Structure 1
């Protein structure tokens, strides 16, 4: 599956610090139990990438709503 392909899969996502000073992104779904640990700098980079992607998606969504008018 590519990043731009819609999916019917559902999963729970938890994000928080670990007792070892890491940031854990925990994904749980049907047949998936995936803990991903990152050092704080990596987590900061991921957060920045999420913010950039959210801004781009918001821009694309507002651009497509203008075309529909």
Structure 2
């Protein structure tokens, strides 16, 4: 049941991203993926989930700027 709620919340959260820039969308996606990865790697630990989301958000935010460098 928790996975269903998380999935519904993720869909609702990402549907609100239509007005965001590419960098902001990448940060939000990175945070979502990082949060899931952190939860999986730490066995559902809250600290692992939050830490993964924070790291994923930072990485996702940086993805856009890497592609524009020449």
Higher relative contact order (CA 8 A, sep 6+): 2
- Return the structure number with greater strand share: 1
The structure whose Rg is larger is: 1
